[in-house]
Chain A
Amino acid sequence: MSYSETIKTHYQNQLKDIRDAGIYKEERFIHSSQAADIEVEFPTGSQLKKVINMCANNYLGLSSHPDVIKAAHEGLDTRGYGMSSVRFICGTQDIHRELEMRVTEFLGTEDTILFPSCMDANAGVFEALLTSEDIMISDRLVHASIIDGMRLCSAEHDTFKHSDMEHLEQKLQLHQNKRIKLVITDGVFSMDGDLAKLDEIAALCDRYDALLFVDDSHASGFIGKTGRGTHEHCGVMGKVDIITTTFGKALGGASGGCVSGRKEIVEMCRQKARPYLFSNTISPVVVAGVLEVFNILQGSTERRDKLEKNTLFWRKGLTDAGFIIKSGESPIVPVMLFNAALAQAVSKDLYNEGIYAIGFFFPVVPNGQARIRTQISAGHEMEHLEKALEAFIRVGKKHKILGLSKQDIIARYGL
């Protein structure tokens, strides 16, 4: 069929609807390396603007670390650029296996398999492990990639209210006759920044003979005393059967992900997970960079300790200034504005003040829950955070929201 006027109009209308709904996503071009200080071209064609980046997943500030860049160069020189093959034909190098073993050791699991991304890991893992005799029971706020992965799997699925242990227990009772029951949660929830109650979830899994799956993409490298992740923080290392995580956030921020966990489960993924079977894995240059990230992390907890200190400063600063933030301890700190137009206006004013922080609203978060999601990094120095805080306070004052309750903000701006 040709690309007819009718089809063209069909897509143009859909794009118009997206624009009219105010949810059209635009890219902002960064003309520098990823870091706390970046130079941005926005809107497209405008002069470059120096801003402080408050919305990257660069939690440990390793995206442009000189040692990681050096290791990546060496990887490029010694192992080349691409593999031109999937893993099981001729696409596996010694360093791919080395990285799998380093991840296994770091997370305290039995084995690990790399995927091109954590999105791919989540897309492939459920279908590889479960069939219609099984059930997946997921927290209602799990990441979109998990939802897509569950859609690809023939097992039955059910959900429990976000972090509601009583509700999870009801669901485990409801489905107790299923062959395999897999409880699925994020370790740190990306929109709210709160941590899963993994200790309680693991205890319920024990009681009801269920397996436990955790996506720790927003935790690996910095949550827990030595940065192993949410399972370390909650004291359940060794009790999580499947962990998926990414190298695209704290662990160097380039790309790639993995499934780590029970030996047989990882082996099943190596036999059946389609994104592993039908796609090239992570490029050698990225593998070499991530290996250096693990060298840095295993040498010292300095970076995650700094991140923790920065996070405490930022959370206290915003709270003392009179903003409503989602409570918690992770470096994801959502500033709640509830009204979508207000979130957009605040984001724009912050940008004019030299602070890059994005507004999130429906359908990314529930209706009436619009917010600015800020993300703290070990790459932020105190001067960055102080400057950002001052800008937030100026913008907060302009919109007269400091010290207001949720009800007051809604009364002033609507939902």
Chain B
Amino acid sequence: MEEMKDLILTYVINEYQEDEDDEITYDTPLISSGFVDSFSMVSLKVFLERKFQISIPDDKATPEAFDSVNKIVELVKSYMKK
């Protein structure tokens, strides 16, 4: 669980952090705060699906569901169980 959380956080930082002064944590709002625009979610979805061998339907990959690392972890977990 912790490992998954850190993997996703590391990916999010590498992929989206533009300014090193910006701090991204597990709870940082990603989309609503403007760190990630909705177009940029595509590669995050592809990353999650490949890394955790899941399939996230497009209608579940919403800005709300992707809005923080913690929320993304919940989403991934819900598809791993299935």
Residues of A within 8 A of B (CB): 138, 140, 147, 150, 156-159, 161-162, 171, 174, 362-363, 366-368
Contact = CB atoms under 8 A, between A and B. Distances in A.
Interface string B26-43: 000000001001011011
B34 A159 contact: no
Given A140-B18, A158-B40, A368-B21, 13 more contacts: A140-B40, A156-B42, A159-B37, A159-B40, A159-B43, A161-B18, A162-B18, A174-B43, A174-B46, A362-B34, A363-B34, A366-B19, A366-B34
Nearest to A150: B39
A174 B34 CA distance: 24
Contacts of A138: 39
Contacts of A161: 18
Interface string B64-78: 000000000000000
Contacts of A162: 18
B18 A158 contact: no
A362 B33 CA distance: 11
B45 to A, nearest CB: 10
B39 A147 contact: yes
Interface string B7-27: 000000000001101000000
Contacts of A368: 21
Nearest to A406: B21
A162 B18 CA distance: 8
Contacts, number: 29
A147 B37 CA distance: 10
Given A161-B18, A162-B18, A174-B46, A367 B34 contact: yes
A161 B20 CA distance: 13
A367 B18 CA distance: 12
Which of B21, B34, B39, B46 has the most CB atoms of chain A within a 10 A radius of its CB? B39
Nearest to B16: A161
Contacts of A174: 43, 46
Contacts of B46: 174
Contact of B39 (A159, A363, A366): A159
Interface of B: 18-19, 21, 34, 37, 39-40, 42-43, 46
Contacts of B42: 156-158
Nearest to B46: A174
A147 B19 CA distance: 22
Given A363-B34, A366-B34, A367-B34, A157 B18 contact: no
Contacts of B18: 140, 161-162, 366
A303 to B, nearest CB: 35
Contacts of A158: 39-40, 42-43
Contacts of A147: 39
A156 B58 CA distance: 12
A69 B68 CA distance: 55
29 contacts: A138-B39, A140-B18, A140-B37, A140-B40, A147-B39, A150-B39, A156-B42, A157-B39, A157-B42, A158-B39, A158-B40, A158-B42, A158-B43, A159-B37, A159-B39, A159-B40, A159-B43, A161-B18, A162-B18, A171-B43, A174-B43, A174-B46, A362-B34, A363-B34, A366-B18, A366-B19, A366-B34, A367-B34, A368-B21
A327 to B, nearest CB: 16
Contacts of B43: 158-159, 171, 174
A368 B33 CA distance: 13
Nearest to B42: A158
A174 B43 CA distance: 8
Contacts of B21: 368
A345 B19 CA distance: 26
Q: Which 5 A-B pairs have the closest CB atoms?
A: A159-B40, A158-B42, A157-B39, A159-B39, A158-B43
B79 to A, nearest CB: 20
A174 B50 CA distance: 11
B48 to A, nearest CB: 13
Contacts of B39: 138, 147, 150, 157-159
Contacts of B40: 140, 158-159
